[in-house]
């Protein structure tokens, strides 16, 4: 029997597990101006990285094997929206569903691009790692207090891992564990 997943509860569970608390969210919020002021540079770094690997570059090429600049710019804009939304992160009914939809889009290409197949989940994981590194470098470079830079990196790393769990759920079917099936009435 298939179970319905309570995505906000799952997101809260993962946030609790990785230790993403209100202080971490406030730290992320404190980086708003810095991250957004460098947002285009951050997204360019990520997509330039994608273009250096044939396995990921192909998702941005036209039928002639050339980079489709229009598609690339749309994807950069989407990543910038993702970063902006990440800064205002909150566990509500909508946010995890938007992340799940993003994971599904990456794992189930639209019919006009079906011949390309899914974006392999390992590249979603690698992309998050690369983004974590870009952000950590930015904080180290721009935040004068090393403790503040470290705290910003840690908070963003936790947030990106919470998001990655939901993004990856678009790739895999997962059977809930007995613990996640418990309700207050069953305890």
Per residue in 89-140, pLDDT (tens digit) is 888 889 999 999 988 888 887 677 677 778 888 999 999 999 999 999 999 9
Residue 175 has pLDDT above 90, yes or no: no
Residue 83: name the closest of 46, 125, 122, 119 by CA: 46
Number of domains in the chain: 1
120 part of a folded domain: yes
The mean per-residue pLDDT over the stretch 1-15 comes to 87
Question: Within 10 A of 159 (CB to CB), how many other CB atoms are there?
Answer: 21
Range of the domain at 90: 8-173
Q: Which residue has the higher pLDDT, 12 or 3?
A: 12
Both tokens of 154, joined, read 């840690």
pTM: 0.86
Lowest mean pLDDT: which of 39-53, 99-113, 124-138, 164-178? 164-178
Q: Give domain status of residue 179, yes or no.
A: no
Contact 155, 25 (CB under 8 A): yes
């Amino acid at each position: 029997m298939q179970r319905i997943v309570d995505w906000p509860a799952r997101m809260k569970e993962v946030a609790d597990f990785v230790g993403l608390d209100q202080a971490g969210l406030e730290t992320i919020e404190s980086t708003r101006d810095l991250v957004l002021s460098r947002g285009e540079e951050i997204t360019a770094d990520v997509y330039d990285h994608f273009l250096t690997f044939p396995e990921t570059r192909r998702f941005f090429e036209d039928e002639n094997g050339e980079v489709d600049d229009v598609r690339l710019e749309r994807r950069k804009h989407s990543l910038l929206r993702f970063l902006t939304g990440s800064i205002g992160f909150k566990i509500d009914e909508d946010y995890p569903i938007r992340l799940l939809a993003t994971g599904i889009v990456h794992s189930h290409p639209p019919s006009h691009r079906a011949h390309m197949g899914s974006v392999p989940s390992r590249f979603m994981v690698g992309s998050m790692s690369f983004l974590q590194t870009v952000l950590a470098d930015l904080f180290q470079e721009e935040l004068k207090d090393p403790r503040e830079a470290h705290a910003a990196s840690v908070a963003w790393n936790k947030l990106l891992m919470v998001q990655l769990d939901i993004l990856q759920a678009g790739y895999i079917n997962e059977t809930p564990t007995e613990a996640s099936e418990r309700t207050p009435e069953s305890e």
